[in-house]
Structure 1
Amino acid sequence: MSIRQKVPVVIIGAGPSGSVAAAILKQHDIDCIVLERSTFPRFSIGESLLPACMESLKKANLFDAVNKAGFQFKNGAAFRYQGKYTYFDFTDKYTPGEGTTFQVQRGPFDKLLADEAQKQGVEIRYQHTVTAVDIEPKQPVLSVIDEVGKPYQIQAGFILDASGYGRVLPRLLDLELPSDLSQRKALFTHVTDNITDSLASELNYDRDKITIYVHPDNQTVWYWLIPFSNGVCSVGVVSTPDFFEAYPDDEITALKQLTSEEPHLKQLFKDADFCHMSGTIGGYSANVKHLAGSNYAMLGNAGEFLDPVFSSGVTIAMKSAELATDTLIRQFNGEAVDWQKDYSEPLMVGVDTFRAYVEGWYDGRFQNVVFFENAHPEIKKKISSILAGYAWDISNPYVANPQKRLSTLAEICSS
């Protein structure tokens, strides 16, 4: 099989991390080709962005397009459990930076980012599937099948894997490791919610925030409710796989039953129309042996995915695109770089911060903090920063030492 083309960088996947990485590289006159196996728009979960994402979009010159697109405004996160209600205002946070963001249906959002990257000069090849990778040569070679089924090879100076749940390089290079987080399953759908302004006011429901519900009888089970600007919302339920065995196999029937078990959701959804697609995803927490080598790096979910509870997935994806391209630009400029120290370790600062709070959510420590009624304003600002996605700000003590700080705070809140 002949090599069709040689290119400085190949990016696998045109999702948020791929589009952000490609746009940043283009700004620095580094040519790249993006190989995307599907066509856009296509469905994906991960629909509630965090304000930190806006900082990444600014660096990629993608922010203005997103800001003008009419997506649902978001300024915080609300939490409900057994009649308790609390929220975090992302504009009232410790770390500087954007304090608002958007809730997006990923089909049009991802397409918007990819289209804008193309307008900046990025080449995206849709329906091109990577089937094999040889990383042994100094410039690795990818085997690809194009949109009409014709195989070809492309040689790259460097590969960025932004394939998300497809996890192309971990799968092809045997880099996958089991996650140390418990395996969970998400059951989800889109709903035409028919929530009137009067009903929202009566029930103290704020469309400008994602709402996280804790199941009234099981604190390890939680719901997300993400409203969009078109009267549709995303609703999902997350628990261990065995929890769902007690519910009908039909996803919509199961979701109707589960949402009726949460009193506030039941009232909100009294006129909802469950007429949209539904789905499940399980075993999504993942890890890898390493995040980068001398001529490749994994971005976002391709490297590690934690849990959807704090909407960290897209934030980690975009931050990884920033860190990887910063390192790659230096390497292409002839600087000596260490991918472990310059990319993997900085990225893991935020990943491990999110991990601490995910673990704390499921073991109850962070729920004690979230629902504590007498929160100290300055501490709440620091926690709000993390929930807003600023999990790399080590000046925040709840980032610099997340496990110890969370445990201490949880103990105070539960005493």
Structure 2
Amino acid sequence: MDSQRRYLRYFLLALALHLTLLALFILTALLKPQRPEPQKPTEDIIHATMFDAAEIEAQEQAMNAAKAAEQQAEQEKIAGQQAQEQAAQAAQAAAERAKAEAIEKSAAEAEEAAKKAKAEKAEQAKEEAAEKAKAEKAEQAKEEAAEKAKAEKAEQAKEEAAKKAKSEKAEQAKEEAAEKAKAEAAAKAKAEKAEEAAQAKAEAAAKAKAEKAAQAKAEAAEKAKAEAATKAKAKAEKAAQAKAEMAAQAEAAEKAKAEAATKAKAEKAAQAKAEMAAQAKAEAAEKAKAEAATKAKAKAEKAAQAKAEAAAKAKAEAAEKAKAEAAAKAKAEAAEKAKAEAAAKAKADAELAELIKKLQRKVEGSWIRPPDASQGLHCTILVRLTSDGTVIDAEVIQSSGDEMFDNSAINAVNRASPLPVPKDKELFAQKFRPLRFKFNPR
């Protein structure tokens, strides 16, 4: 939008300039003096009249005087017309010079506008390229951060899977160990029970054997006793046997009861142990799950924070780098510009000095010293020039005090036209439009 406004302003300026030139052309055409039509020669009528010689001579003298006056008037009229034509030509030349200057100025302004537009376009293209490079760099950093986050996530998943497998393996080993311990305890209890049963059987067999041996011995020793005693003894033995059987039965019942109590206690202990193990396993699993979730959350937060910090750091580094590059580039461009300007200025100064010398030599070479001019006189002249060095006008702005010397200096400037001028339009506009020239002949 700003570029369109600038171009609109230049367009309006160019339009105004063309309208001004058109008005100057019309004004020149209107003010151009018309050339007087040549008068037709008057026909001489000869009257044949008889006069004496004196009268004829007087008439001839009068006619000659009239012709001379008429010729003088005609010459004066022609001189006036020539002066008017010269003034019109001078006005036309001034108008043409003004037109040339206006065209030159318009061309210079158009060229300057084109240069400026080109520079602005180049600057805009440069800025767009910088923005594009910045966006590509940001996109690349974003992709790298995403790849890094993806790799970290995969690594984290891998670590979690390995931990989970390890935990499951440990749990399975623990369960297998518990099962093995339970089986060993059951086998041990079974073996102890079998051993106790075998020991009780052996004790019962030994007791029965001892009793049988004692009975046989008693029978052998007391065989001679009475059958009544034997009967009583048999009865007593039967009662004792019944008592022993009852005792053995009571002992077996007590033993079975103890075994059942022991078994129930063992089963209860095993169940309690299994319940505790299951509860511990559940608690451990819950705890591990909570720890894993907490750890995963902390890791994700840490990764997000690291990612944000990395992005912020990358952004800050990119901005700092871009800023440093822009500063370095601006500094280099400023140095290059200053160097170019210094070189251009030195060249322009040298060219200007050489042109001033040439101009002085040319004007001094065209100067005709007045007969009574004093030595050491000098004056300052303001000279208006066209782009090719043609003198439009010259006037003394600081007099020498001698009017004839000042006039001779102006005549010298006009005779020296066209004066040497720089080819550089900007230098010409700065130093030669108008030109302040110090005329100091030696």
Shorter chain as denominator, the TM-score bin is: under 0.3
How does the TM-score come out when normalised to structure 2?
Answer: 0.15
Higher-Rg structure is: 2
Question: How does the TM-score come out when normalised to structure 1?
Answer: 0.16
Higher strand share: 1
